[in-house]
Structure 1
């Protein structure tokens, strides 16, 4: 199995309400991929309760049976739609992929 972990840092917003709305939009879009991409075996999305300046805001954890399945997911049209949503809001990301 492959564990694909992505952390996203969002840009600054005028209000906490706006940021909360963006966090919710991204979380819902990511979780919606489970029903659309067969290769995606597990998905978990968490938002950081400690919104400190140096921390990341969103953590995505996904599991795939193989690297080939992860690669299929990466170019899947529904995943690419979510990528566009995230790109509108994220200023940084970190990725770790490992076997478990």
Structure 2
């Protein structure tokens, strides 16, 4: 199993929306990717919550049955379509993939 965790810190304003609006839009778009390829075992998108510690605004916590499944997800057109918007609204991105 491959764990795939990605975190984004967003700009205060971008693409005509504020940080929270863009975080919600990122979540909506990511949630649409939850079953785009076989082999996705877990796919959870969360937003930073007021009153709880968070250094990033959006997190994707996912698991794939194999490296091939993760590669299929990464190269899928639905996933690739996210990139332009995500790059436009983010300040920082952190990613970690590991075998579990």
Which residue number in structure 1 is paired with residue 67 of structure 2? 67
| TM-score calculated relative to the size of structure 1 | 0.83
Q: Give per-residue Cα distances to partners, 1:21-73, cap 9 Å, x unaligned.
A: 1111100100110232333222101111259xx92111111110111111111
Provide structure 1 residue ranges, at least 5 long, that are not aligned to the other structure: none
- TM-score, normalised to structure 2's length? 0.83
Structure 2, unmatched stretches of 5+, are none
Runs of 4+ in 1 over 3 A off after TM superposition: none
What is the match of residue 36 of structure 1? 36
CA RMSD across the alignment? 2.2
Query: What is the count of residue pairs matched by the alignment?
Result: 96
| Kept after mapping to 2: 8 A contact 1:5/1:96 | yes
Corresponding residue number in structure 2 for 1:95: 95
Partner of 1:83: 83
Larger helix fraction of residues = 1
Q: Secondary structure at the match of 1:28?
A: helix
Structure-1 separation of matches of 2:39 and 2:76: 10
